[in-house]
Amino acid sequence: MKYGKIKNEREVLMTKTEVIQRLQKDLGIPRFQAYIEDKDYSEEEYDQLKKDFESYFTNYVSNVSADFEGGLDNK
């Protein structure tokens, strides 16, 4: 972790690797990998990334069965 100065306070910054490791733990997905920008991330940026990944999972991965509730047409 790195430290950045913001308004006389120390802000902890995480590297890309640290962000991915933390997402793996927080999301409960040990092999989680993501293509994210190679930069230092603040806590606020981490929270937004996590929210975005959770939203993506909810909208596009976990609800995939809802798309097929009526079954597939076999014509």
Q: Would you say residue 7 has pLDDT above 60?
A: no
Greater pLDDT, 38 or 72 = 38
63 or 49, higher pLDDT: 49
Confidence (pTM)? 0.69
Domain boundaries, given as residue ranges, for the chain: 1-39
Q: In this predicted structure, what is the pLDDT of residue 15? A: 97
What value does the mean pLDDT of the chain take?
82
**What's the pLDDT score for residue 26?**
95
Supply the pLDDT for residue 53. 93
| Angle formed by the axes of helices 16-27 and 43-56, nearest 10° | 50
